[in-house]
C-alpha cells in the first residue's frame, strides 16, 4: 500500500511559481513525508509562457483558465501565486470548491479582501498555507525555538528592515507591483508583510502602530511603452509598533535602499540576551547572552546547521549551508506533515489576515498622521 497522493494546481508561473514548483518537486527527495506530491497543473494567462513553465518546472500539464484548475476534481491543493488583484477571486473559488488553499503573501490587496478570504477558507474547513517562507530558514526557526525556551527572557525590542533597490532607477517601468489596483500597496505589503509576519511569529501580536509611507518616484514609463503613468503605491514604509507584550517594534521596508538587493534583517533584544538574523547570511544566527561569564560576553555566530538545529540533516551534513529555495521546501514539508497530523500549520490564512490588519493599520496611520490601534 503506497502513500496517499496530494495533487497540486499552481496558479501563476513567474518568480513565486518557480520557487513553489521547485519546492513541490524537491520536498519528497529530502523529507520523509506521509504523502506523495503530484504536480498536475500549472496555470497562467499566456499559453506560450505557461507551456514552457510546465515543461521546465516539471508539471504534468498546463491551463490558461484558473477556473478549470479550481474545478478539477483530482486537485487537492490550489496554490495562488499570482499578482494580488486576483488572490481573492481564486482563493474564495478554491475554498468554495473544497480545495486546500496555499496563498502567496500578502493574501489580499485590502483588509476587506483578506477578511473575505479568511471567512471562505474557514467555511471550507480545509487547512491553509501562506507563503511567509522566511519563518522556515533554519536560523529563524532556531531563533523561534530559543525565544520560546525563554533564552532571551522578556523581549524589549523587535527591530526589522527589509531593504531592496530594484526600482531606485526612475526609468524602471511601472510594473504591476507599482499599481495599487494590481498590488494593493508597494514595499509595505510586498516585503513589509514578511517582517510583520516575523515580528508576530517571534514576539507576538501587534497592538498599535504609527507609520509613514513615501513614494519617491511618482511617474514611471509604462512597461508596454507609449508614455508614462502615475505610481500610486509606496516606495518605502517605516513604522513603529507596540506589541501586545509591551515590546517595541521598529519596521522599515523599502525598494530604494540603493545597494541592498534583498536584505531582510531583524534584531531582537531581550532581558537575557539578543538575536540577529540577516538573510544575506541566512545560515547564521548572531547570539549575545547575558548568561555568559562576565568578560567573555559578546555576539557569537551560530551556524544553524548543527544536528540539533531545525531541519538539520534534511539536506547535507553539519556545516554545509543551504539557500533561499530551501526555505520554501522546508515550508512545504512542514505544511504537509501538519496536514497529515491534523495539526494547524502556521502561517495560515488567519495569519495572513492578521498580517493584513497590520498593513491596513499602517496605511491608515500614514494617512491620518496618528497612532492606530488594531
Ligand atoms: C519582490 O520584492 C520579492 O520577490 C517579494 O515579493 C518576495 O516575497 C521576497 O521574498 C523577495 O522579493
CB-ligand 1 contact for 191 (6 Å cutoff): yes
* Residue 1's pLDDT band (cuts 50, 70, 90): confident
Q: Is the pLDDT of residue 367 over 80?
A: yes
Q: Is the pLDDT of residue 144 over 90?
A: yes
Distance 304 CA to ligand 1 centre (A): 23
pLDDT score recorded for residue 2: 87
For range 11-29, the mean pLDDT:
97
Q: For residue range 42-56, what is the model confidence (pLDDT) as tens digits?
A: 999 999 999 999 999
Q: Is the pLDDT of residue 334 over 90?
A: yes
d(CA 333, CA 339): 10
Q: Report which of 6, 233, 234 is spatially closest to residue 129, judged by C-alpha positions.
A: 6
pLDDT score recorded for residue 16: 96
Alpha helices in the chain (DSSP H): 15-30, 47-57, 66-70, 87-96, 111-124, 138-148, 180-183, 187-190, 192-202, 324-341, 349-368
Q: Is the pLDDT of residue 112 over 80?
A: yes
What H or E segment, with its residue span, contains residue 36?
strand 36-43
Nearest CA to ligand 1 atom 9: 191
Q: What pTM value is reported for the model?
A: 0.98
pLDDT score recorded for residue 372: 98
Q: Of 190, 257, 328, which is best to mutate to test ligand 1, by the most ligand atoms within 8 angstroms of its C-beta?
A: 190
Extract the C-alpha cell encoding 204: 507576538
Spell out the residues 6+ positions from residue 183 whose beta carbon is closer than 8 angstroms to its own. 83, 84, 85, 109, 176, 177, 189, 190, 233
Domain boundary assignment for the chain: 5-133, 135-373
d(CA 349, CA 366): 26
Compute φ and ψ for 248, nearest 5 degrees. Answer: -105, 130
Cβ 208 vs Cβ 371: under 8 Å = yes
Nearest CA to ligand 1 atom 6: 190
d(CA 257, CA 13): 28
Q: For residue range 149-204, what is the model confidence (pLDDT) as tens digits?
A: 999 999 999 999 999 999 999 999 999 999 999 999 999 999 999 999 999 999 99
d(CA 220, CA 74): 44
Q: For residue range 126-137, what is the model confidence (pLDDT) as tens digits?
A: 999 999 999 999
d(CA 325, CA 330): 9
CB-ligand 1 contact for 178 (6 Å cutoff): no
Extract the C-alpha cell encoding 194: 514578511
CB-ligand 1 contact for 111 (6 Å cutoff): no
Bridge partner residues of 273 (DSSP):
289
Distance 154 CA to ligand 1 centre (A): 31
CB-ligand 1 contact for 190 (6 Å cutoff): yes
What H or E segment, with its residue span, contains residue 254?
strand 248-254
CB-ligand 1 contact for 16 (6 Å cutoff): no
Fold held by 135-373:
Dihydrodipicolinate Reductase; domain 2 (3.30.360)
Q: For residue range 311-330, what is the model confidence (pLDDT) as tens digits?
A: 999 999 999 999 999 999 99
Fold held by 5-133:
Rossmann fold (3.40.50)
Distance 253 CA to ligand 1 centre (A): 11
Average model confidence (pLDDT) across the chain: 98
CA 154, distance to chain mean position in Å, is 26
d(CA 237, CA 365): 11
Amino acid at each position: 500500500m503506497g502513500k496517499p497522493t496530494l495533487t497540486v494546481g499552481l496558479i501563476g508561473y513567474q518568480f513565486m511559481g518557480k520557487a513553489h514548483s521547485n519546492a513541490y518537486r524537491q520536498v519528497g527527495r529530502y523529507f520523509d513525508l506521509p504523502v506523495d506530491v503530484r504536480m498536475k497543473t500549472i496555470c497562467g494567462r499566456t499559453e506560450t509562457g505557461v507551456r514552457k513553465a510546465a515543461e521546465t518546472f516539471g508539471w504534468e500539464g498546463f491551463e490558461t483558465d484558473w477556473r478549470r484548475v479550481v474545478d478539477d476534481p483530482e486537485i487537492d491543493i490550489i496554490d495562488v501565486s499570482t499578482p494580488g488583484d486576483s488572490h481573492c477571486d481564486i482563493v474564495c473559488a478554491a475554498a468554495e470548491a473544497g480545495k486546500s488553499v496555499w496563498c502567496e503573501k500578502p493574501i489580499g490587496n485590502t483588509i476587506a479582501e483578506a477578511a473575505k478570504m479568511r471567512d471562505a477558507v474557514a467555511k471550507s474547513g480545509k487547512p491553509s498555507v501562506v507563503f511567509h517562507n522566511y519563518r522556515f530558514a533554519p536560523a529563524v526557526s532556531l531563533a523561534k525555538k530559543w525565544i520560546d525556551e525563554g533564552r532571551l527572557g522578556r523581549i524589549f525590542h523587535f527591530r526589522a528592515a527589509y531593504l531592496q533597490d530594484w526600482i531606485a532607477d526612475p526609468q524602471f517601468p511601472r510594473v504591476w507591483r507599482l499599481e495599487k489596483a494590481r498590488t494593493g500597496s508597494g514595499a509595505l505589503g510586498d516585503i513589509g508583510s514578511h517582517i510583520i509576519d516575523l515580528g508576530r511569529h517571534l514576539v507576538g501580536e501587534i497592538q498599535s502602530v504609527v507609520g509613514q509611507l513615501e513614494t519617491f518616484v511618482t511617474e514611471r514609463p509604462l512597461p508596454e511603452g507609449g508614455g508614462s503613468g502615475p505610481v500610486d503605491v509606496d516606495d518605502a514604509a517605516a513604522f513603529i509598533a507596540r506589541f501586545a507584550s509591551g515590546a517595541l517594534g521598529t519596521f522599515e521596508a523599502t525598494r530604494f535602499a540603493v545597494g541592498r538587493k534583498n536584505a531582510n534583517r531583524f534584531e531582537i533584544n531581550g532581558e537575557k540576551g539578543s538575536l540577529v538574523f540577516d538573510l544575506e547570511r541566512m545560515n547564521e544566527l548572531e547570539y549575545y547572552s547575558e548568561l555568559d561569564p562576565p568578560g567573555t560576553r559578546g555576539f557569537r555566530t551560530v551556524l544553524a546547521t548543527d544536528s540539533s538545529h531545525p531541519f538539520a540533516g534534511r539536506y547535507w551534513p553539519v556545516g554545509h549551508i543551504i539557500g533561499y529555495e530551501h526555505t520554501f521546501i522546508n515550508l512545504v514539508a512542514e505544511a504537509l506533515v501538519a496536514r497529515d497530523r491534523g495539526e494547524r500549520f502556521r502561517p495560515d490564512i488567519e495569519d495572513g489576515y492578521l498580517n493584513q490588519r497590520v498593513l491596513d493599520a499602517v496605511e491608515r496611520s500614514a494617512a491620518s498622521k496618528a497612532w492606530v490601534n488594531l
